[in-house]
Amino acid sequence: MVDLSVEIGSLKLKNPVLTASGTYGYGREYEDFVNIDDLGGIVVKGTTLKPREGNDYPRMAETPMGMLNAVGLQNVGVDRFISEIYPKIRKYNTSILVNVSGSTIDDYVETASKINDLDDIPGIELNISCPNVKEGGMAFGVSCASAEAVTTAVRKVYSKHLMVKLSPNVTDIAEIARSVESGGADSLSLINTLLGMAIDAKTRRPVLSTITGGLSGPAVKPVALRMVWQVARAVKVPVVGMGGISNATDAIEFMLAGATAIQIGTANFVDPQVTVKVIEGVKNYLEENNIASIRELIGALRCD
Amino acid sequence: MKYIHDFRIVSNQRQNYEYIVLTLRAEGFELPEMLPGQFAEVRVPNESSVYLRRPLSIHDVDYERQEIKLLIQEVGKGTKGLGSLPEGSLLNLIYPLGKPYTLPESNEVLLIGGGCGVAPLLFLGRYLKNHGIQPRYLIGARNAEGLVRLEAYRELGEVNVTTEDGSVGTKGYVIHHPVMRTETPDFRHIYTCGPDPMMKVIAKYADRHGLSCQVSLENLMACGIGACLCCVTKTKDGNKCVCTEGPVFDSKYLQW
């Protein structure tokens, strides 16, 4: 019997497979296809202080082996999350993290402190990397000073596990990672989507209403893998890797690069059962290679 | 309840230069109940650069034979990939998705399809007929060749036709057909699916004449199950996912 459990700081996960925010709704959308309790955890939709309508349609464009999205953090706001959604999902026997986004530091702080009171939410993922909203979001994640400032401010009011999601749209992601670590993050997750663009040559117009959007899917995997490797070497806190993971081999590659756990995002759209297939595949990999614990794979990349 | 199943392709019939009909058989499982207007998210096999599924409305259902049909217009790599699939191969579907067309309050209906938008109206016509309502069709296409499977629609009811080039039926768009030119239409309910500009004109027409109108939207989507929030349309209650709140909407609810 192999051991799939991992620990991201105070978070004890039954396996290293989480779902990426914005690709899994609140988990309930997938209940017809998987037993949510089988997952290591779910990171629910980006939540802001006030409800957001998001960007205008069109919000997506398919690209080779991936997609661009410009949803713009459409969500019901933290108060309705707490009153309407939380009661329905708190029963899940898996770790539920709430992705928290904001336009100002005060937004982040207020939203995080409200979620701090929820018994069955063991952590938040601070989103300082959404490329699809004009104010805030990614703006915080692209400079060391602002990334550290928002992390420090939230750390003061949030006592449970604080994961910070990094933007790949920076010159040196390791530098940002160190700043966020100094700000008091318990773990780092990466990568959020890469800023991209699609043009319709027929109409000579951008495909997305916002002109630019975030690229995800297998197309971004090599970039994500490289950044996870760089960040894992740069910080002491655990790293959660994501970016185009579609199968167990992808997941193992991210763990070898230094990730303690992984998130699956866009692949959920293609196969709503991909999460449980990855868990099963990772288990098989360990058995076939006589590895007792998944933890032996973390950062076990051989570069010699 | 939504399902994910592998279907066997029992036939792939080319209709014209851009339309094909795939007939899919359930093997090793029972077809769940499906309603007209619902759709499937279809995985495109063997196309290495196509990642996302393709949302396709359910064209027809035959519970006795345990078969469903998809009418597919080949527009890009994904749909062309589906069009080239050999009989006997497997196709993975997430289905049945979305909210269906609902039964009308009275029996006078007109089903208006434009281009590939005719796809869900065959299943709808069959469903209406099973509920004692006589379907009547108005179908528009660019030209004669663009009108596909007319015989299947004619089996269910009267079929009126328009073509943009006038090669068959009334010349022009569906709105130019005599059944819609009268000030006193002899139908009370419109069901429509097709290009947005066509449906918007029809929705206005319905408003003007005090008719009810159900439209089926074809927005770009990724997941099909309300998770990605990409396929939204503006409604009286703000942005709503076409995949879960639609694809069928009462036209009065939309602000498009």
Contact A244, A66 (CB under 8 A): yes
Q: Which residues contact A304 (CB under 8 A, 6 or more apart)?
A: none
The set of long-range contacts for A86-90, using a CB threshold of 8 Å and a minimum separation of 24, is A86/A118, A86/A120, A86/A121, A88/A26, A88/A28, A89/A26, A89/A27, A89/A28, A89/A44, A90/A118, A90/A119, A90/A120, A90/A121
Residue B234's beta-bridge partner residues?
Answer: B239
Q: Give B219's contacts in chain A (Cβ within 8 Å).
A: 57-58
Pairing type for strands A66-69 and A60-63 reads antiparallel
Residues of B with CB under 8 A from a CB of A: 1-4, 43, 48-53, 78, 94, 219-234, 238-239
Secondary structure element (H or E) that encloses residue A47, with its range: strand A41-47
Contact A277, A271 (CB under 8 A): yes
**Closest chain A residue to the Cα of B229, Cα to Cα:** A71
A119 touches B: beta carbon within 8 Å: no
For residue range B107-150, list pLDDT tens digits in order.
Answer: 999 999 999 999 999 999 999 999 999 999 999 999 999 999 99
CA angle A86–A190–A211, rounded 5-degree value: 90
Residue B183: per-residue pLDDT: 84
Residue B219 to residue A57, Cβ atoms within 8 A:
yes
For residue range A164-188, list pLDDT tens digits in order.
Answer: 999 999 999 999 999 999 999 999 9
Chain B nearest CA to A181, separation (Å) = 30
Q: How far is CA A118 from CA A84, A97, B28, in A?
A: 13, 11, 44
Rounded to a whole number of angstroms, the CA Rg of chain B reads 18
A217 touches B: beta carbon within 8 Å: yes
First to last CA, chain B: 29
The one catalytic residue in A49, A68, A130, A267 is A130
Say how many CA atoms lie within 13 Å of A20 toward its Cβ: 28
Instruction: Check residue A157 and report its DSSP letter.
Output: H
| Residue count of chain A | 304
| Residue count of chain B | 256
For residue range A231-269, list pLDDT tens digits in order.
Answer: 999 999 999 999 999 999 999 999 999 999 999 999 999
**What phi and psi values does residue A261 have, to the nearest 5 degrees?**
-145, 170
A195-220: b (≥16 Cβ within 10 Å) or e:
bbebeeeeeeebbbebeebbbbbbbb
As a whole number of angstroms, the distance between CA A134 and CA A156 comes to: 26
As a whole number of angstroms, the distance between CA B218 and CA B243 comes to: 9
Phi and psi based region of residue B226 (left: phi greater than 0; alpha: psi -120 to 50; beta: remaining):
left
Q: Which residues contact A236 (CB under 8 A, 6 or more apart)?
A: A181
Residue A54 to residue B229, Cβ atoms within 8 A:
yes
Chain A nearest CA to B78, separation (Å) = 11
Q: Which of B80, B217, B223, B231 to mutate to test the interface with A (most CBs of A within 10 A)?
A: B223
Count helices and strands in chain A by DSSP H and E runs:
9, 16
Q: Give A218's contacts in chain B (Cβ within 8 Å).
A: 51
Confidence of residue A273 (pLDDT cuts 50, 70, 90): very high
- In this complex, the residue of B1, B226, B233 whose CB is nearest that of residue A57 is B233
Average predicted confidence (pLDDT) for chain A:
96
A195 touches B: beta carbon within 8 Å: no
Q: At what angle do helices A144-157 and A105-116 cross, to 10 degrees?
A: 30
Catalytic (active site) residue A144 = no
**Closest chain B residue to the Cα of A268, Cα to Cα:** B223
Q: How large is the average pLDDT for residues B60-85? A: 96
Average predicted confidence (pLDDT) for chain B:
96
Report how far Cα A178 is from the mean position of its chain's Cα atoms.
Answer: 18
> Six-digit token pair at B216?
């089926």
* Residue numbering of the annotated binding site of B: 54-57, 71-73, 78-79, 223, 228, 231, 243
* Residue numbering of the annotated binding site of B for [2Fe-2S] cluster: 223, 228, 231, 243
Strand, helix or coil at B30?
A: coil
Contact A101, A74 (CB under 8 A): no
Q: Give B53's contacts in chain A (Cβ within 8 Å).
A: 269-270
Secondary structure element (H or E) that encloses residue B119, with its range: helix B119-130
As a whole number of angstroms, the distance between CA B231 and CA A188 comes to: 30
CB count, 10 Å around CB of A184? 17
> Is-cis flag, bond preceding B120, omega within 30?
no
Q: Give B227's contacts in chain A (Cβ within 8 Å).
A: 23-25, 29-30, 268-269
Confidence of residue A129 (pLDDT cuts 50, 70, 90): confident
| Residue found by looking up tokens 């966020």 in the block | A180
For residue range B151-197, list pLDDT tens digits in order.
Answer: 999 999 999 999 999 999 999 999 999 999 988 999 999 999 999 99
In chain B, % of residues over pLDDT 90: 96
Residue A136 has pLDDT above 60, yes or no: no
For residue range A41-99, list pLDDT tens digits in order.
Answer: 999 999 999 999 999 999 999 999 999 999 999 999 999 999 999 999 999 999 999 99
What was the ipTM of the complex prediction?
0.94
**Closest chain A residue to the Cα of B47, Cα to Cα:** A65
Confidence of residue A304 (pLDDT cuts 50, 70, 90): confident
Residue A268 to residue B230, Cβ atoms within 8 A:
no
Residue A135 has pLDDT above 70, yes or no: no
- In this complex, the residue of A33, A69, A218 whose CB is nearest that of residue B230 is A69
Q: Give B78's contacts in chain A (Cβ within 8 Å).
A: 62
Q: Give A56's contacts in chain B (Cβ within 8 Å).
A: 234
Q: Give A64's contacts in chain B (Cβ within 8 Å).
A: 49, 51
**Closest chain B residue to the Cα of A44, Cα to Cα:** B227
Strand, helix or coil at A17?
A: strand
Residue A130: per-residue pLDDT: 78
As a whole number of angstroms, the distance between CA A1 and CA A24 comes to: 29
Q: How large is the average pLDDT for residues A2-17? A: 97
Confidence of residue A137 (pLDDT cuts 50, 70, 90): low
CA angle A172–A175–A177, rounded 5-degree value: 110
Count helices and strands in chain B by DSSP H and E runs:
5, 16
Report how far Cα A127 is from the mean position of its chain's Cα atoms.
Answer: 8
**Closest chain A residue to the Cα of B96, Cα to Cα:** A32
**What phi and psi values does residue A200 have, to the nearest 5 degrees?**
-95, 105
Strand, helix or coil at B190?
A: strand
As a whole number of angstroms, the distance between CA B255 and CA A205 comes to: 23
> Six-digit token pair at B22?
């795939």
For residue range A178-221, list pLDDT tens digits in order.
Answer: 999 999 999 999 999 999 999 999 999 999 999 999 999 999 99
